[in-house]
Structure 1
């Protein structure tokens, strides 16, 4: 979001030249707004960093699953990574060919895996039991990749660290012989190796450590098409945050990958599955201040949103910059910004902000990833609408929930339709 001069007030927030307050007025609050240009910019950054290799970008759709976002990714030549059959179906609805969709389930039923195979998506096997099931049911007729747990403990919050020895994700690198035994027993066709050790890596070392594991295991298979390094690029949530140096990462990982391909005897594809990296900075959650509550110990700014719309601060202790869109030049004061949910749903504690008044519009920044996609209707609250700003114009890409949406699927049991009160 850009801060640009404007007549009528000293400064205003705009996305692609569109006044944010006008977007709020047009579509109502609370509201998720995404900047398509920022997504396209991040795609370009990744491509530039890996320009020397045969790169495929697979957008991790769980970060933001709106079908219009998926269509934007496809328009930009990005493919898709899914973790559920419904994500895969949404991808196909958005126009992705089945072979462009990676499916990496974790502990799902075999029925769901069978459905994915029937759709024709690329199956990424996460466990020895699933690998054996594939062999027993399909032999070598279904090309699969294998997700390896490299026993690497890197990244940020433990809840998003997935490559350590105690993680539920992937097949342990120490079970290499078991993998090979099952593959040989059923003549399973292995076309790729995959690793995803978590999120928020600050430098290339974690990727290089994971790469070394996969490069070593690749010698077990002669018909690989790709090596998939997952993702985990760190983005900045506040000023001074250390971020992943994508250019440095691209140079170091590309060099290691090219050397591996030379040893392997042919050029393979290098896959990445970024989610947060592509969409986080594009997203802004706009909310309205309901009340400003002065307590003896602190001042609360209560807004028309909560953990039902943005759970990351409560779930991960994550930081989101907050901007007072309505009063950017106000005198700065500390506010504890809280939601309207009947739980502790604190977005920020004692955060210095330009004076916040009832009715002021605030913007939670870096809200594109794991914002709406983790939203709920807790407390019977509506989920927000979503808007995409594309080519300088805002487009509604999801309607706000209605009461009918809350009641959809609920069944009125006739025997309970009585005025009698149990004594």
Structure 2
């Protein structure tokens, strides 16, 4: 399926006149439509809740848009809890799933009324000591050996640091039952960026079987199950998006066969997708600064790993559009690079593209999740602005670009020789 842009060349040129590249821009209308499609796929469920993974796109404007569509927040740190609160997401619309968690973050989650999802059986005593035991609790399940080939991001569950084993799960619910917990949930996350829809149905079957077993062995009725996220997106043009209706109906069938048939209806269904909600509807816009011909042909952008590190971290593919040259033949081969002093600072390697010239505008697709969020300041690079493309075609600045002054703000010494003008100028 061809990769399309939500704006024309002339529209993008107008945006760049006001907001210099590089920047990330998100398509609000497409994000809303996609969120509604996910919710519609589970309209059969007694209750369905999507907790958006804040780590994917940690911007309160995006979170507010999702809240308006009925979506909550999956948080794993105090700043993420605060971002959710800024967006008006509160109480049990927040699921706090963290690991190696400091006491003050548990305390904040408890104060906010978030659902606390514990990552280890030893955390029961830690939670009780620092915050007391809440009336509602959830545990994260790690099934151990499960996947034949693993997953490029999570890997093999048995090698992951997350969650409780099956025997620990039974013991954890026994302990919490004795401590007076009234409401129980369960959670898992065993795959990431997966395009095979049957994997998600398989996860549901696994969790429904476990819920039945918990009831039989411990006498605890699980009230909600969170299948995690993991729904991938078609980064490559030849890939197909996950059929959400197929997934929803497959899970419905498993629900009827295992939950309803065992008298455990109603069971609330939850997910915590991040990537598939916003990922396809974010774009990194950059400008070609340099061309270099040595042993290979290189194109150097004003963006770098600071703006998008997935290709360097995972070897991930992100489609590239050279704006205005969409119809030209892909008869040139380039490495598309950034400016870090690291040789893996590349957005594409040996990519077939149209001829590229200095000054060309480049759009890197599918950066709406784990794009800006994974930015950093190595090499003194500054993080870019984030923009929102509104349904009416207007553009809002939802996060300004960092400035040199921001970079030095945490130091106890002044930035010697740095003029005021330089300190407030963003690095592009």
Q: TM-score, normalised by structure 1?
A: 0.89
Q: Equivalent residues in 2 for 1:305-316 (5 A)? A: 305-316=303-314
| Distance change (3 Å), C-alpha of 1:110 and 1:216 | farther
Which of the residues 50, 67, 90 maps onto 2:42?
50
Which of the residues 127, 134, 142 maps onto 1:149?
142
SS of the residue corresponding to residue 59 of structure 1 reads strand
| Structure 2 unaligned residues grouped into runs of 5+ | 418-428
1:22 aligned residue: 14
Q: After TM superposition, give the deviation of residue 25 of structure 1 in Å.
A: 2.1
State the number of aligned residues.
407
1:286 aligned residue: 285
| Distance change (3 Å), C-alpha of 1:204 and 1:329 | closer
For the 8 Å contact 1:337–1:348, the answer to whether it is kept is yes
Alpha-carbon distance between aligned partners in 2 of 1:235 and 1:161, rounded to the nearest angstrom: 16
| Distance change (3 Å), C-alpha of 1:310 and 1:413 | closer
Which of the residues 94, 109, 121 maps onto 1:116?
109
2:374 aligned residue: 374
Q: After TM superposition, give the deviation of residue 187 of structure 1 in Å.
A: 3.0
* Cα deviation digits, residues 184-226 of structure 1 (max 9, x gap): 4423344211111121223344333333343233213544331
SS of the residue corresponding to residue 106 of structure 1 reads coil
SS of the residue corresponding to residue 400 of structure 1 reads coil
* Alignment RMSD (CA, Å): 2.7
Q: Equivalent residues in 2 for 1:60-75 (5 A)? A: 60-75=53-68
Q: After TM superposition, give the deviation of residue 290 of structure 1 in Å.
A: 0.6
Does 1:271 find its partner at 2:274? Answer: no
1:34 aligned residue: 26
* Cα deviation digits, residues 208-253 of structure 1 (max 9, x gap): 3333343233213544331111111121001212543322111111
For the 8 Å contact 1:152–1:197, the answer to whether it is kept is no
Does 1:207 find its partner at 2:200? Answer: yes
1:389 aligned residue: 389
1:328 aligned residue: 326
| Distance change (3 Å), C-alpha of 1:348 and 1:265 | closer
For the 8 Å contact 2:290–2:300, the answer to whether it is kept is yes
Does 1:349 find its partner at 2:349? Answer: yes
For the 8 Å contact 1:34–1:282, the answer to whether it is kept is yes
Q: Equivalent residues in 2 for 1:359-370 (5 A)? A: 359-370=359-370
1:10 aligned residue: none
SS of the residue corresponding to residue 91 of structure 1 reads helix
| Distance change (3 Å), C-alpha of 1:298 and 1:100 | same
Range that drifts further, 165-174 or 299-308? 165-174
Q: TM-score, normalised by structure 2?
A: 0.88
Q: After TM superposition, give the deviation of residue 140 of structure 1 in Å.
A: 5.0
| Distance change (3 Å), C-alpha of 1:285 and 1:393 | same
1:248 aligned residue: 246
Alpha-carbon distance between aligned partners in 1 of 2:8 and 2:356, rounded to the nearest angstrom: 25
Q: After TM superposition, give the deviation of residue 16 of structure 1 in Å.
A: 8.5
For the 8 Å contact 1:298–1:335, the answer to whether it is kept is yes
For the 8 Å contact 1:163–1:169, the answer to whether it is kept is no
Alpha-carbon distance between aligned partners in 2 of 1:403 and 1:206, rounded to the nearest angstrom: 45
SS of the residue corresponding to residue 222 of structure 2 reads coil
* Cα deviation digits, residues 21-56 of structure 1 (max 9, x gap): 222222110010111122112112212322211211
Alpha-carbon distance between aligned partners in 1 of 2:381 and 2:409, rounded to the nearest angstrom: 14
| Distance change (3 Å), C-alpha of 1:224 and 1:66 | same
| Distance change (3 Å), C-alpha of 1:49 and 1:90 | same
For the 8 Å contact 1:335–1:351, the answer to whether it is kept is yes
Q: After TM superposition, give the deviation of residue 377 of structure 1 in Å.
A: 1.7
Alpha-carbon distance between aligned partners in 1 of 2:9 and 2:340, rounded to the nearest angstrom: 34
SS of the residue corresponding to residue 51 of structure 1 reads coil
| Structure 1 unaligned residues grouped into runs of 5+ | 5-12, 418-423
Q: After TM superposition, give the deviation of residue 110 of structure 1 in Å.
A: 2.5
For the 8 Å contact 1:155–1:201, the answer to whether it is kept is no
For the 8 Å contact 1:233–1:243, the answer to whether it is kept is no
Alpha-carbon distance between aligned partners in 1 of 2:414 and 2:355, rounded to the nearest angstrom: 51
